[in-house]
Structure 1
């Protein structure tokens, strides 16, 4: 593999810092050095669309816009069960009561948003009134303070929303799993198609395995980028989002990605993606 350093962008969330600690710190023999930029998922989605980095963590929902330049790596991403986005409000409401309301979302190119739109098409016949994009960490305060009527939240918010006095109206992951039986595809790792993709996938997989083999090694790195979270929330976050699908998507993982993009395309939410566009060399 080339010795040139690569630009890599991922979030400061515990699952990403835990997963990529070893690679980012030069602990994976033979892996290229990486210069890491930390950014919210909406920012990394935009970076990918502009070709602004070599390796990125993006939303699976953003894949249709970047697959000409980037390939989906089969490891390092976030899929799972029981880890879906939540719709929160200040008080319990029937879903149809969200008709005409203002709902904050972390990105219109996020899996969370696609799952919400697919759910809302069934549960909110009148449609929501306004979708307002906010950084995910700003959504719960906005709901609490009445700036928006409801919020779609991701990541550790599922562990902490009660601290803001909020209630969960619906779990997008539960709805997806009940409908499809598939895991929830959240965050994808993509790399420029011009790079050595098998070697990059191997580096990502090795970084996951290193993290599992020595969890203490990454602890300071994880905590330094998640100081607003308690250590127990950081650990729960990692346990939920770093799992077997992080090591390898496998047949169920690819089926989940394909299913999400096909359903979203059928609703006119994303461009259609040809089957071969998701294929990885050697698989």
Structure 2
């Protein structure tokens, strides 16, 4: 029997992967990797390792989740060391929990290797701390979209009134709805908002506005996913703390810039 490692590859900058995650890549016989991982990480795979692309685009999945689950089990049962390489953290909107359940149900041993999630890293690279003693004592990770057919059960009232900073994943297409719900439940219309596109990579781009204006800003600037939406007073710190976009990063997204 082999073993499966569910590994968080981090948010894009290849140097943000953990040492344990890097070791899992180096020792794997089979690597199943997602669209949002930095391809430079695959350079660390050992010679002869099998690389399987599992990328997902909105409304188009290269491999269905059920297929991915069965591939993990098949190779592990063949005695292989399998690394499932996911962007960010495998247990933060990464379906890692579903895959872990499937492995347990099939008697496959596994380990989870946490990764740096984009809900913290993308704002940080944009100069936005998700917590700050003067602005934010709480923050929440929020899914910007739900599984099709799932009843909408996000507690928008609690998010609007009880949480200082919201980090919303993959929510660009639902931004008008998000804006509507937060305003409906009392979030001030002048609350600062930022969208960080391809955070921590050489393609990073950040736009800002307020809860009232951000939908128009995003449409005008043609911002698309993958983008992290950050809502809260901490966004005010971006102008002062922005650092990454003023540097000359190297070897990001597998390219020299």
Task: Please say whether Structure 1 and Structure 2 have the same fold, judged by a TM-score greater than 0.5.
Answer: no
TM-score between both structures, scaled by the size of structure 2: 0.28
TM-score between both structures, scaled by the size of structure 1: 0.27
